[in-house]
Structure 1
């Protein structure tokens, strides 16, 4: 459990701060007492003075008693789970324990919660005996991804007459991480048998019966059928044929975060769709054994350069997925004007499969994106139609009847990308299948030994 500790003293705690805790009832009693005392002086009524002093003394005594009250209370908070996808709920459990030797009075428990997670929860706790504890819980939910602080926990102390209320706060808080939703994608091979996904995913040569020419020493547990007798005779010890380790297929997920490329905000905006789709494809490929890197237009990648070339995956795929989702939970618009920083990262060589999520592209940035394709294997581009997202499904058409995004798609396709437009309400799983079918059509004439079949007149693509 987290968030444990005793309530801290509020800033400016003192008798003046305690007087500031007078409730409306307490202030009314105090005002009535002072008014009665003034009237008794003006009217010469001694009995009225006694009534006024009683009315004024009652809230002041409550303030003094509550100010000198020192409860030793420990609190803790548990999030279950601490990382949730958008629109999902997380349960928050609060535990308050009385660690003093005297019982507490009536306590009001309040946890500070950001507005996007819902209303601020409040609970009324009855008398807690010495050494006793109370547990309460509430649920939080957010439609927006991000990291949200929960806490600090606050205890409101009140006297039995309701004249004064004081707030004591814990000093610790916890963080709820709301990650993008991950859509389930069909287990397809989006590059057909093309390089970069299928043939680019190198298998162990030993599985095909080929061995390294350099044997190694025998280790406990090695299969005796792999003993290399010629090398054993030469070295005088058991030598086995070494199996070549498979090379993992790599994938780079490129997310265009430029503020100028995305318009609108909120959970239904184009940018949020791109973030959700990037999270879905990254987790999907990690589950299929890929080494995945998340790259943005700023040139920053996750994991960082300390990893194996910036890629994550393999046995640590679950941890890699968590790292990528945590990064996507807080990704925001960038101030970059172009994609040149991302291009500088990608031009180092063959990076395997490249999947890009682009916003609005002008001619210059479409050309930069096209050059990225030359330094990768198969490349899939999902281009969001900004006009359609901001002005309705029909988009904006010029006088010639051409959709503005059509020119950008054509430029990307001529550069070798498999480019698909993204309209509002599009399901990423359907686009994923469409990308697979498009890649299969494009790669069919390029397979070894395959000849391009003539297309019949009127046949569809």
Structure 2
């Protein structure tokens, strides 16, 4: 994902209902309204008392704010603005830079300009800037920083431009329509490198040896490349595609892992950045990114099924940084569900296995469990070669459920807020024995 993008904004101009005189009159400041009220009162008193001089003072007081409104209303500033986020995706508790550029695209200089960018309160106070006179064709750049403790997607904008007269009698606000989105993803904790050697299907480091033997071949035909053996031309695919296609004769061993994230609201206590649920989300992100770097094909699964934003099939290819960003994007917006159990996740796993095949590695981040959920997880274990569970509710009397998982073949590592995932990952490596070797 690029660090940021530059978006053009339509110029602010005086047109339509937004630029109507009634709207301009509504922009009178407290000072302007006070002058208008004082002038009106002076004029009435002058009429009642027959004081011509007082009448002149009243007319002057009332005319000044009205003239300012008319001048500001007739101002034909044309200003364009752009915003750049750097980066557009940032981990929680980290800062992102927002850069604003203002261009005067009219032929006349601008007056004093006041800018205010609208940002959600979780990102900090709304930034305000005052720009001096902007010459025709001139440009000004300002920047500010935002920071969020909470993951999520946050809309920045619209940028508001405030026009005011030199006397402070009137203030008009114009808004640019476009917005930008800042994605705050879960924090990813680096994990110690351990040898993730699975079974039967060639998992973990075995994949490198398989690729060395098989090259780039698999069962799907691909386009002809210079140097390919003509004996490998797949004529049926060539006729269908209208170009030379060659056979991929071997299937490289794929390393697969399912990361199961328990999002049931009833399974967690507390809320906020330091809650058990947020610890579990950060743990799922850390493990997912770690496995992607080690060549695994990672599938993210929750109690509600595949989260929004998952590619077809729920798998994240390990060969693309963009797909790793998609995994973080999916975890950035994941919320707690009202689901009552993990049955739907089990159905997805059972349907994805196909023909009785077993999944590779199953890593779960779990909240509080009752006996029924522990029994369901035991059945999930039967469909995998290795299963590892991190419990996010440290304490809370989970002994019976954890014991049931261990009896079913799970490696259970208690965790929760304050626990270092890197240390727990090392403990899990030791606990898996033959499944996780040094």
- Specify if TM > 0.5: yes
The correspondence for 1:286, drawn from 289, 292, 301, is: 292
**CA separation of 1:336/1:3 partners in 2, compared to 1, >3 Å: closer, same or farther?**
farther
Taking structure 1 as the reference length, what is the TM-score of the superposition?
A: 0.81
Q: Which has the larger radius of gyration?
A: 1
Deviates more, 1:69-78 or 1:159-168: 69-78
**CA separation of 1:195/1:425 partners in 2, compared to 1, >3 Å: closer, same or farther?**
farther
Indicate whether 1:110 and 2:116 are aligned.
yes
User: Residues 431-442 of structure 1 correspond to what in structure 2 (within 5 A)?
Assistant: 431-440=424-433
User: Residues 242-391 of structure 1 correspond to what in structure 2 (within 5 A)?
Assistant: 244-301=250-307, 304=310, 307=312, 309-316=313-320, 318-348=321-351, 349=353, 350-385=358-393, 388=394
User: Residues 29-44 of structure 1 correspond to what in structure 2 (within 5 A)?
Assistant: 29-44=35-50
Deviations 1:371-411 (A, max 9, x none): 111001111001122xx5xxxxxx45xxxxxxx21111101
The correspondence for 2:402, drawn from 395, 409, 425, is: 409
* Residue matched to 1:6: 11
* Residue matched to 1:459: none
Residues 155 and 168, structure 1, Cα contact 8 Å, conserved in 2: yes
In structure 2, C-alpha distance between the alignment counterparts of 1:32 and 1:95, rounded to whole Å: 41
* Residue matched to 1:452: none
**CA separation of 1:271/1:187 partners in 2, compared to 1, >3 Å: closer, same or farther?**
same
Indicate whether 1:425 and 2:428 are aligned.
no
In structure 1, C-alpha distance between the alignment counterparts of 2:178 and 2:297, rounded to whole Å: 37
Deviations 1:303-330 (A, max 9, x none): 74x64x43222322x1221000000000
Once the two structures are TM-superposed, the CA of residue 196 in structure 1 deviates from its matched residue by 7.2
Residues 190 and 437, structure 1, Cα contact 8 Å, conserved in 2: no
Indicate whether 1:130 and 2:136 are aligned.
yes
In structure 2, C-alpha distance between the alignment counterparts of 1:426 and 1:10, rounded to whole Å: 59
Structure 1, unpaired ranges of 5+: 213-217, 224-240, 389-394, 397-403, 445-461
User: Residues 155-174 of structure 1 correspond to what in structure 2 (within 5 A)?
Assistant: 155-174=161-180
* Residue matched to 1:455: none
Aligned length: 405
Residues 200 and 352, structure 1, Cα contact 8 Å, conserved in 2: no
* Residue matched to 1:74: 80
**CA separation of 1:242/1:258 partners in 2, compared to 1, >3 Å: closer, same or farther?**
closer
Once the two structures are TM-superposed, the CA of residue 302 in structure 1 deviates from its matched residue by 6.9
Structure 2, unpaired ranges of 5+: 1-5, 219-223, 230-246
The correspondence for 1:64, drawn from 70, 80, 83, is: 70
Residues 191 and 440, structure 1, Cα contact 8 Å, conserved in 2: no
User: Residues 97-246 of structure 1 correspond to what in structure 2 (within 5 A)?
Assistant: 97-190=103-196, 197-198=203-204, 201=207, 203-204=209-210, 207=213, 221=227, 244-246=250-252
**CA separation of 1:198/1:428 partners in 2, compared to 1, >3 Å: closer, same or farther?**
same
* Residue matched to 2:236: none
**CA separation of 1:145/1:443 partners in 2, compared to 1, >3 Å: closer, same or farther?**
closer
Deviates more, 1:407-416 or 1:17-26: 17-26
Taking structure 2 as the reference length, what is the TM-score of the superposition?
A: 0.85
Deviates more, 1:39-48 or 1:3-12: 3-12
Deviates more, 1:415-424 or 1:101-110: 415-424
Deviations 1:10-66 (A, max 9, x none): 976522221221111111111111121122223221101100110011001111111
Deviates more, 1:294-303 or 1:190-199: 190-199
Once the two structures are TM-superposed, the CA of residue 169 in structure 1 deviates from its matched residue by 0.7
In structure 1, C-alpha distance between the alignment counterparts of 2:283 and 2:42, rounded to whole Å: 71
Residues 78 and 94, structure 1, Cα contact 8 Å, conserved in 2: yes
**CA separation of 1:127/1:242 partners in 2, compared to 1, >3 Å: closer, same or farther?**
closer
Deviates more, 1:268-277 or 1:183-192: 183-192
Deviations 1:48-86 (A, max 9, x none): 110011001100111111112221111111111111001
In structure 2, C-alpha distance between the alignment counterparts of 1:92 and 1:219, rounded to whole Å: 45
Deviations 1:91-150 (A, max 9, x none): 111111111111111110111111001110111111111111111111111110000001
State the SS of the aligned residue for 2:116: strand
